Amino acid sequence: MKYGVIVFPGSNCDHDAYHVISKVVGQPVDFIWHKETSLDGYDAVILPGGFSYGDYLRAGALAKFSPVMKAVKKFAAEGKFVLGICNGFQILCEANLLPGALVRNKNLHFICKHVKLRVENTNTPFTIETKKGEVLSIPIAHAEGNYVCDDETFSELEENGQIVFRYCNDEGEITDEANPNGSRSNIAGICNKDRNVLGMMPHPERACEDLLGSTDGLKIFSSLTKTIEQIEKR
Partner 1 sequence: MKAKVYVTLKPGVLDPQGKAIHHSVELLGFQNILDIRQGKYFEIELNGNLSVSEANDLVSKIANEVLANPVIENYRVEIES
Residues that bind partner 1 (CB under 8 A): 57-58, 61, 65, 93-94, 99-101, 103-108, 146, 148-150, 182
Q: Minimal distance in Å, beta carbon 208 to partner 1?
A: 32
Does residue 142 have an active-site annotation?
A: no
Q: Which of 94, 120, 144, 205 is catalytic?
A: 205
Q: Minimal distance in Å, beta carbon 135 to partner 1?
A: 27
- How long, in residues, is the chain? 234
Does residue 159 have an active-site annotation?
A: no
CB nearer to partner 1: pick between 150 and 171: 150
187-191 and 44-47 strand pairing: unpaired
Q: Minimal distance in Å, beta carbon 86 to partner 1?
A: 18
Extended strands (E) in 34-148: 44-47, 81-85, 101-103, 111-119, 135-142, 146-148
Task: Give 161-213 as a DSSP string.
Answer: T-EEEEEE-TTS---STT-SS--GGGEEEEE-TTS-EEEESS-GGGSSBGGGT
CB nearer to partner 1: pick between 181 and 227: 181
CB nearer to partner 1: pick between 149 and 164: 149
CB nearer to partner 1: pick between 2 and 58: 58
Phi and psi at residue 71, in whole multiples of 5°? -65, -35
Q: Which of 13, 86, 168, 208 is catalytic?
A: 86
Does residue 34 have an active-site annotation?
A: no
d(Cα 192, Cα 199) in Å, to the nearest integer? 9
Catalytic machinery residues: 86, 203, 205
